[in-house]
Chain A
């Protein structure tokens, strides 16, 4: 019998599929890396902030990304990928605890 905690997993899979494969200016590889918290140049520090303490993101972070030539749509896509990755990782921790106590 499927566990209660797996009830909405297919909806999250749909969300993840759109974020990784949906139309956009970045590649699937770049989005997958952002989901896992990685990015090139100034993107790395920014994505770490988004994942770990998003309340510290500032206008200066965006200025640094623009100065490095990152387009607005690329920032949008990689930010969403990083946020989805951080949320998924936290959900996975919860699902693990639920499965072990079932």
Chain B
């Protein structure tokens, strides 16, 4: 249960019907990101979901799976168990390799390619002091073969998760069981951040 009852049960009736339907079909609690994004989308949800789809599934030098992995790492650095759970699940499906919290914590031994290793290094530095990033930090990532477009996309994924990790932690997004999280990740992997436009009005 979310900490605000209105985010749990305050939706207009068509949206309540929609949430109920996907819970019946998916046999899992509707994702709390979806729940808050369709609550009052003209305040928060409409531009947010468009942005999420563009950043995580739009054109990018990174594959969708790689972006999910970056999302999971940002979420780990922000200490957001809900988003770590979901996005290690989507990264696992997208990359066809096991991504879990232990892998994110011990990423240096996880056999990441040089580009992703340089990005993880950058994300760790940024988490320790977000205002301390220097041109030299950027140059180190470039030297690992990461283009400016790819570095920029890392920062946009980080923006998204800097935002949603805070909302998840503050509102108390429900982590659920391991099986529930796996199901939610599979649904997200399949639907790819597409939300019917009617729900975002």
A contacts, CB < 8 Å to B: 3-5, 7-8, 11-12, 14-15, 17-19, 22-24, 49-51, 53-55, 57, 59, 62, 72-73, 75-77, 79-80, 82-84, 86-91, 93-98, 100-102
Q: Any chain A CB within 8 A of the CB of B159?
A: yes
In the bound complex, residues from chain B placing their C-beta under 8 Å from that of A62 are 3-4
Consensus secondary structure, chain B interface: helix
Main secondary structure of the interface of A (DSSP, over half): helix
Cross-chain contact A11 with B51 (CB below 8 angstroms) = yes
Number of interface residues of B (CB under 8 A): 53
Minimum distance in angstroms from A52 CB to a CB of chain B:
10
CB-CB under 8 A for A97 and B134, given A4-B148, A55-B80, A83-B167: yes
A18 contacts B137, C-beta separation under 8 Å? no
Q: Judging by beta carbons under 8 Å apart, are B5 and A12 in contact?
A: no
Q: When A and B form their complex, what is the total count of cross-chain residue pairs whose Cβ atoms lie within 8 Å? A: 150
Contact yes or no, A79 B155, CB < 8 A: no
> What are some 27 contacts across the A-B interface (CB < 8 A)?
A4-B147, A5-B152, A11-B50, A11-B51, A12-B51, A17-B47, A18-B46, A19-B44, A22-B42, A23-B42, A51-B166, A54-B78, A54-B166, A72-B4, A73-B40, A76-B39, A79-B171, A80-B167, A83-B163, A88-B159, A91-B155, A91-B162, A94-B126, A94-B158, A95-B155, A97-B133, A101-B135
